[in-house]
Amino acid sequence: MAGGNARFLGATDVHVLIVDDGRVLLLRRGPDAEYGSGLWTLPSGHVEDGEDVVAAAVRETHEETGVALTPELLRCELVMQHRGPRATAKARTGWFFRAVGLTRATGRPYNAEPHKHSELMWADLDDLDSVPGGMVAYVRAGLDAIAEGRPYALHFQEPGTAVAHVPGTSALVPLAAADHHNVPLRRAFGVREWLRIGGPWTWHPDEPVPDGLPVGQSWGWLFAPDGRALVLAAPDGGLNMPGGTVEPEDADALATLRREAYEEAGAVLADSVHVGYLHDHQGLMYRGVPSARVRIAARLASLGPAAVDPATGVTWRRLLAPPRMIAALLGGGDESLAEALAAQRTAHERLGVPLCDAWTVDEVPKEGTDFE
C-alpha cells in the first residue's frame, strides 16, 4: 500500500471478434441485463478465478455462441483499461481477441444463451454506427481501437455518461506503443505487405553461390549511416528491395545491383559485401529453372532525385526503415527475418554500419540526399 491508497484489484474481462467477410458477430443484451440492456456487444465475459484470459475467451465464446474455439485460434488484438459511467464503477481490464481459422468443426454461431441475449447479428465493421439500437460504448471503443491498429488503450467514462455509444463522442484514449509492423505504420506510409510467392526458398547465409546454380536475381540491403536500410514503395503501396534480374551485360551480381539500384532509386553505392543467397528451388520467375537470388549488403553513398524506373515505368518512393521492420513488411516469415538479421550483422561487422535499434521509418525527399 502506498500513500494510504488501496491496491487496485479490478476485474478482468474478455471479448472475442468472430469476423466473416468484413462483418463481426454481435449479441444483443437481453431486457433483464444488469448492464447495457438492449445494447449490442461482442461475445464476452469475466475471467473466473484460476483461469487465464485465453481459456476465458474460449469458454465464453462457446457458452454464448456455441462456437468451439481452441487457444491456437485466438489472436490478441487489444488490451484496454476501462471504467464505466456508474458513480460506483471500478476500473477493469479488457482483453480483445480475434478468432482465426474457423472451420465447420468450430461450428456456426447461434444464440446459445437466450436468457442472456435476445438476438444475434452480423454487423459491417466499416459501418458500426448503423447497428440498430446501438452498442455498448466500451465494446465500440474497443472495436474502434482495433480498426486504428492500436494495441493498447484507455476508456474511462465520466460518471453519468451513457452506457451506449453515442456517435461522434468517445472516451477512447489510444496509448502510444512500439509499432511492430502494425496498421498505423502501413497507413502512415501508404504501404501494404508484400507476400513472397513461390517456394520453397532456402536461405544460405554467408555462402557463395555453388557452381552450376545460375544467379537469377540480385537484391541489396542498402544501409544509411544510422543503420536503417532502403526499401522501395510503388504508387499502389507494393514494396520491393532495390535490385532485380541479372542481365547478360552484367559482369556479376554486384554489377546487377549497382545498375538496378541506380535505375530504381537513384542509389549510388559505397563499399559492399556478399551476405548470402536464397535458393529458389522452383525458378518461379525464371522459366522453371532453379536459381540463386543473391543478397548483398552495401553502404549508401547517395540517393539522387526520384525518377521513373525504366524497367517498370514506376517512380518508387524511397523509405528508410530498420531491417527487422523491412523483413516483416516483405513477408516470408522466419526466412525473411533471418536474411534481414544476417544482412544487418554482416554490414555491421564488415562495413562498420551501426546496429539499428530504432523503430522509425522516414521517406527520402524527392530531391534525394547525400550520405557521405
d(CA 18, CA 98): 6
Residue type, 161: T
List Cβ neighbours of 173 (8 Å cut-off, separation of 6 or more).
Answer: 153, 154, 155, 156
Q: Which three cell numbers stand for residue 7?
A: 491496491
Are 99 and 67 in contact by the 8 Å Cβ rule? The answer is yes
pLDDT digits (tens, 9 = 90+) for 287-300: 778 999 999 999 99
Which pLDDT band, with edges at 50, 70 and 90, does 49 fall under? very high
β-strands 291-303, 267-280: how paired? antiparallel
Q: Which domains does the chain have, with CATH numbers?
A: 12-177 (3.90.79.10), 186-370 (3.90.79.10)
Identity of the amino acid at 36: G
Distance of alpha carbon 225 from alpha carbon 315, whole angstroms: 24
For 194-219, what is each residue's pLDDT tens digit? 655 555 678 999 999 999 999 999 99
Specify the pLDDT at position 1.
Answer: 40
pLDDT band at 7 (very low <50, low <70, confident <90, very high): confident
Q: Are 324 and 357 in contact (CB under 8 A)?
A: no
Question: Which of the two residues, 121 and 288, has the higher pLDDT score?
Answer: 121
**Beta strand 172-174 with 44-46: parallel, antiparallel or unpaired?**
unpaired
For residue 366, which of 266, 259, 298, 228 has the smallest C-alpha distance?
A: 266
192 close to 237: Cβ distance less than 8 angstroms:
yes
Tracing cell 501508404 back to the chain, one arrives at: 190
Cβ atoms of 304 and 368 closer than 8 Å: yes
C-alpha span between 151 and 3 (Å, rounded): 31
Band (pLDDT 50/70/90 cuts) for residue 2 is very low
Tell me: pLDDT of 104 over 90. no
Q: How far apart are CA 351 and CA 357, in angstroms?
A: 17
What is the CA 343 to chain-centroid distance, rounded? 22
* % pLDDT > 70, the chain: 91
The three cell numbers of residue 62 are 462457446
* Residue pointed to by grid coordinates 532509386: 265
Residue 137 burial class via C-beta count within 10 angstroms: exposed 0-12, middle 13-18, buried 19 and up: buried
Report how far residue 365's alpha carbon sits from residue 372's, in angstroms, rounded to the nearest whole number: 16
pLDDT digits (tens, 9 = 90+) for 59-98: 999 999 999 999 999 999 999 999 999 999 999 999 999 9
pLDDT tens for 219-255 read 999 999 999 999 999 998 888 999 999 999 999 999 9
Instruction: State the pTM of this model.
Output: 0.61
Q: What is the pLDDT of residue 303?
A: 98
Would the pLDDT of 272 be above 90?
Answer: yes
DSSP lists the bridge partners of residue 267 as: 303
Residue 192's pLDDT is: 72
